[in-house]
Amino acid sequence: MLRPDRAPPLRLGLFLRPAQQPGRQVGGTHCLGLSRRSTVRPLQQFLKRGRWDHQEMETRHQTLLANSLSSPEGMLTVDSCEFPKKGKESVGVARQYCGAVGKVDNCQSGVFLGYSSSKGYGLLTGQLYLPQEWFSPAYAKRRKDNWVPEDLTFQTKPQMALSLIQKIVEKNRFAVQWIGCDATFGSDPAFLDSLPKGIYY
């Protein structure tokens, strides 16, 4: 059994190496070379319970991007992205609009923030969206089984986007003149009215 504080470095390396190859889209089981006879539970446990300082890694990532991309005319881009799913146990999975297939379907969804300038572009941060039904008593066991923080409360996608934007602006690593978004966010008056002052959209 894989202990959360003893994730095998070799297995992590095997998992990441194929995923880093340009132009390839591979699943976790393929990355590890797992056959039908092999179990994927150790990988699932590593991804679910392994120690991972998300904030520290994100800070390092954003610092590197800021050093190479930040420019006075820079633009933050916000959008949602969906991931079709077959099962029902993954965090946030539900029947909702799925942009990947262009219709309501079983999927996970997230809100993502990017940055672009004349120097290039990159993904800054993101957050998994939990539909309101996931906060109902009927989903209590799923929340517990998936380690969803007990103090997490429901947020709409525009609310999530606004929070991500405010955090980036407050850190002041990136020069931001513009914010770009689609109608999911741009049609929400509360979102537009709450954007940081001095930034065009």
Which ranges constitute the DSSP H helices of the chain?
9-19, 28-31, 41-49, 54-69, 140-145, 157-171, 183-186, 189-193
Annotated domain spans of the chain = 1-52, 53-193
DSSP code string of 104-156: EEEEEEEEEEEEEETTEEEEEEEEEE--GGGGSGGGHHHHHHTT--TT-----
pLDDT band at 189 (very low <50, low <70, confident <90, very high): very high
Q: How far apart are CA 12 and CA 46, in angstroms?
A: 9
Sign of CA dihedral 184, 94, 114, 124: positive
Give pLDDT, residue 167: 96
Q: pLDDT per residue over 73-93, tens digit each?
A: 999 999 999 999 998 889 999
Q: Which of 176, 170, 191 is nearest to 80 (CA)?
A: 191
Q: pLDDT per residue over 153-164, tens digit each?
A: 999 999 999 999
Does residue 133 contact residue 34 with C-beta atoms inside 8 Å? Answer: no
Which letter, b or e, does each residue of 111-120 get, where b requires 16 or more Cβ atoms within 10 Å of its Cβ?
bbbbbbbeee
Q: Which residue has the higher pLDDT, 39 or 179?
A: 179
Dihedrals phi, psi of 187, to nearest 5 degrees: -95, 5
Residues pairing with 112 in the sheet: 79, 126
Give pLDDT, residue 50: 67
Q: pLDDT per residue over 122-162, tens digit each?
A: 999 999 999 999 999 999 999 999 889 999 999 999 999 99
